[in-house]
């Protein structure tokens, strides 16, 4: 006798969340909260999220309570469109040697082969790597686990400096909060920026968070400057990004030589003045592309790049997409008939 379907909402994108003993409650909850908040213009939920386990029943968390899981992982993984693996402090440890029970390894591999999207939060990346899903792919995990991850999985291109990665239908994210960034990224991919931004607004989190990685990042809100020796120059530069800015000019604002200013700037900002200016100009261009209908050449001028060709070159190098592709992503969420594009 066959089992009844795990998912019951026709037309919704099906997300299976794999809960293992020691699962982090925050990660388990944020997936349901974010995907569960995504709705179309008619208010209908766009996702159906179910929690599953290899052995349904009580699943320990890393807190002082357990969660009762009713769905079988084997069936849920087979029916899902997206499979998400949260972290487990109990199982995701380098000392485990990357061991993964063959049935789960095979089920995850089969899910990817069949075209399902597979994602992990935090050290859930150890599970994907142990299943062989990250071989030759770019991935990330919590920075504290990076050394152990590299030792266990040398064939994975680990980047511990980013919030999340996406490579060939497999996505990974860093620590717990980065799971929010990852989920919002997937919602943007599935249903557009308008839906993702509304989910972020309802959850009271930023729709885009600066992470230093080549991804679609909204212009970061400048941090409140402390009394550092180059803060005034940085604040002034942000107000004059459309103008030619020289090192001599910025150094003069702080009454320093160019050499001293450059050294102190790097000590305080972590990058050179030229690198910092380029990042801020790319971020300004992203903001204008997303929020205005200005032609690319005018966006380039307003961001201080001068020409559209220069803007295209810098955006491609910085975030991996052209200005027109970026605008299409963030201004193309709504279809001509007002429907939400999938």
Distance between start and end Cα atoms, the chain: 35
> Burial code of 69-84, b = ≥16 C-beta within 10 A, e = fewer?
bebbbebbbbebbbbb
Handedness of CA 239, 241, 243, 244 (dihedral sign): positive
Q: Is the pLDDT of residue 225 over 80?
A: no
Among 223, 185, 177, which Cα is nearest to 207's? 185
Q: What is the pLDDT of residues 40-50, one digit of tens each?
A: 989 999 999 99
Per-residue pLDDT band for 320 (boundaries 50, 70, 90) equals confident
**6's tokens:** 């795990």
Pairing of strands 57-60, 66-69: antiparallel
Q: What is the pLDDT of residues 5-18, one digit of tens each?
A: 889 888 999 999 99
The predicted model scores a pTM of 0.64
For residue 204, give every residue at least 6 positions away whose Cβ sits within 8 Å of its Cβ, in sequence order, or none.
none
Q: What is the pLDDT of residues 54-97, one digit of tens each?
A: 999 999 999 999 999 999 999 999 999 999 999 998 887 655 54
The DSSP H or E segment spanning 261 is: helix 258-269
């Amino acid at each position: 006798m066959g089992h009844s379907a795990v998912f019951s909402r026709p037309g919704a994108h099906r997300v299976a969340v794999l809960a293992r003993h020691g699962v982090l409650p925050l990660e388990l909850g944020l997936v349901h909260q974010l995907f569960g908040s995504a709705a179309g213009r008619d208010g209908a939920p766009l996702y159906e999220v179910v929690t599953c386990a290899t052995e349904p029943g009580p699943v320990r968390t890393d807190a002082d309570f357990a969660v009762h899981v009713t769905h079988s992982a084997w069936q849920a993984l087979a029916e899902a469109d997206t499979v998400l693996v949260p972290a487990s402090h109990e199982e995701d440890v380098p000392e485990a040697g990357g061991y993964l029970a063959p049935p789960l390894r095979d089920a995850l591999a089969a899910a990817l082969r069949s075209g399902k999207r597979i994602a992990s939060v935090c050290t859930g990346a150890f599970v994907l790597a142990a299943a062989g899903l990250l071989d030759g792919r770019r991935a990330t995990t919590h920075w504290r686990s990076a050394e152990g991850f590299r030792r266990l999985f040398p064939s994975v291109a680990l980047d511990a400096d980013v919030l999340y990665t996406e490579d060939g239908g497999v996505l990974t994210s860093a620590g717990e909060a980065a799971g929010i960034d990852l989920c919002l990224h997937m919602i943007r991919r599935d249903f557009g920026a308008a839906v993702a931004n509304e989910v972020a607004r309802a959850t009271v989190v930023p729709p885009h968070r600066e992470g230093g990685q080549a991804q679609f990042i909204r212009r970061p809100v400048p941090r409140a400057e402390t009394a550092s020796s180059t803060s005034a120059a940085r604040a002034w530069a942000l107000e004059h990004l459309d103008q030619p800015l020289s090192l001599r000019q910025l150094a003069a604002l702080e009454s320093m030589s160019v050499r001293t200013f450059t050294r102190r700037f790097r000590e305080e900002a972590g990058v050179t003045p030229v690198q910092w200016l380029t990042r801020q100009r790319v971020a300004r261009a992203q903001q204008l592309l997303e929020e205005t209908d200005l032609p690319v050449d005018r966006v380039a001028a307003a961001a201080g790049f001068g020409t559209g060709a220069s803007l295209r070159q810098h955006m491609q190098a910085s975030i991996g997409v052209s200005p027109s592709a970026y605008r299409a992503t963030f201004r193309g969420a709504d279809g001509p008939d007002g429907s939400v594009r999938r």
